Each structure stands twice: as C-alpha cells, then as structure tokens.
Amino acid sequence: MREYKGIVSDFAQRTRKRVFIEILSIALLGIFFGSSWSGDIPGWLEISVISISVIYVLLGLALYPRAKSVADNFSVYLSNDSLGFSDKGEIKQLPYCDLVISKVLREHGDVVEIRLRTTFRQTIKLRGLEGMQELYSQLAQKIKGAK
C-alpha cells in the first residue's frame, strides 16, 4: 500500500492567496459603496453586504488552524483494490471500479490536481499531495485495470 501525504506548505500558500483575494474584494466593495455610483443602493444593504463579507473572512481565518491540522494529517493510500483516504488514522476506501478520472490539471507539465468522479456523481479533488505525478500514473493504471 503506497501512501501520499498532504503538503502543508501548499495548503498554507493556497489559503494565503484566497484570503488576499477575499480582503481585496471587500476593499473594492467598500470603495464602490463609498463612491457616487452606488447612490441608488440603500445604506442598510451596503452595510449588510460588507458585514457578511467580513464575517465570512473572519470565520475562515478562525477555522484556519483546524483546517491546517486536517491538511497535515491527511493521506491518500493506493491499495490493490481501492483508493483510501486517511484523516487522523481512520481510513475510508473507495473501490477503483467506482472511480473515473474526470480531469487532470497541470502547471508547467507537472500534475497539480486530479479530479475524480464516483459512480454516485460525487467529485473528489486530489491536490497538494506529495508525488502527484506518480499518484496520477498509479491511479490511472489501477482505475483502468478495474474496469
């Protein structure tokens, strides 16, 4: 059984980018609402939109330590007959015959994300794991062999 562990630095980098974009969006909303273009929008609606946006960002920041802990403990396992996911020791498995590789995203020729679809129409995104290229090739072989 081969294990592919999560890369915490990749998770942290993606989170920093997401938070930066969210804060930039709130700033742009504030600028828009402060300008003369938003004269027809009621003040209570402006305050509500800004407040909900700020609460969303603050909630994400508050939950970041827990999400980082989950990312640190997350692993994917390839066994002979199923794909396993481990979070804090508990392994959940999906048989290869129930999986289809729907999309593979590459950056500079390297695999960065593998999107799987189950027979139950669920989507699984594998990203930020060590050895993504090897994981993709092994996974493609095992899924093809299971059909």
86-140 tens-digit pLDDT: 877 788 899 999 999 999 999 999 999 999 999 989 999 999 899 999 999 999 9
How many angstroms separate the Cα of 102 from the Cα of each of 5, 48, 124, 125? 22, 39, 10, 10
- Quote the pTM value: 0.72
- Pair type for strands 99-107 and 90-95: unpaired
Residue 1 has pLDDT above 80, yes or no: no
Amino acid at position 132, single letter: M
